[in-house]
Amino acid sequence: MSETVFLIFELIGTVAFALSGAATAMRKGMDIFGVCILALTTATGGGVIRDLILGKTPPATFLHPIYAIVALATALIAFLPPVRHFFTHHHAFYDHMMLLIDSIGLGVFTMTGIRTAYQALPEATPFLLLFVGVVTGVGGGVMRDIMAGEKPYILVKHFYATASLLGALAAILLWHLIGSTFAILIGALLILLLRFLAAIFHWNLPHAKDA
């Protein structure tokens, strides 16, 4: 995958996660500073965790202002009254929007984790690629939910981490078969698709309370 195409891909994920952070902050009634901080944390958190795990210091987010600028611009646009109104007044819209943008972020960042791990450690095992991918994918959202005092999505949305894991698996299997570009796109789309299917068909799982 060319660097330019991948940068665009990363920026899509950054916008999506920034928007999910901003939406969470607005629903909690935070002011514009809180909205910006939570957007920035959600959008850059996964990448920082990824780079720390791979020993790439300082993390890319601290070297290239583009991610922070895009995340903050997204937060400011989300805070414009007409946009904000949708997030805070339409609960059904909010839930659907969150599913969409959080899934895009999950898909994109799972893939950036795998790609960065491949580049930093060419001899990485599939296990390392999978694990780094999932942790990178879920990291930003976990930081968003913990800072906002919400139950982490990853613990309450059944299938959340599994969607990330299956998308990561598909990308790793396809990596040398069809090239990194298509492997990344298919992996990210699979994550999006799996989360939609889980939401549409209410895939349910045994709960501890059923015992």
Interface ranges with its own copies (CB under 8 A): 25-38, 48, 52-55, 57-59, 61-63, 65, 68, 79, 81, 84-85, 87-89, 121, 125, 127-128, 131-132, 142, 146-149, 151-152, 154-156, 158-162, 204-209, 211
Query: What's the min distance (Å) between Cβ of 210 and its own copies?
Result: 8
If phi > 0 it is left, if psi is from -120 to 50 it is alpha, else beta; for residue 11 that is alpha
Cα(13)–Cα(104) distance, rounded to whole angstroms? 6
Query: What's the min distance (Å) between Cβ of 191 and its own copies?
Result: 15
Closer residue to its own copies (CB): 8 or 203: 203
Query: What's the min distance (Å) between Cβ of 209 and its own copies?
Result: 4
Closer residue to its own copies (CB): 17 or 79: 79
Closer residue to its own copies (CB): 56 or 182: 56
Closer residue to its own copies (CB): 3 or 210: 210
Query: What's the min distance (Å) between Cβ of 48 and its own copies?
Result: 8
In SS3 terms, 146-169 reads as HHCCCCCHHHHCCCHHHHHHHHHH
Query: What's the min distance (Å) between Cβ of 178 and its own copies?
Result: 26
Cα(91)–Cα(189) distance, rounded to whole angstroms? 26
Give residue 53's identity as a one-letter amino acid code. I
Q: Minimal CA–CA distance to 183: which of 61, 6, 11?
A: 6
Start-to-end C-alpha separation, the chain: 48
Secondary structure element (H or E) that encloses residue 1, with its range: none
Closer residue to its own copies (CB): 154 or 186: 154
Cα(194)–Cα(188) distance, rounded to whole angstroms? 10
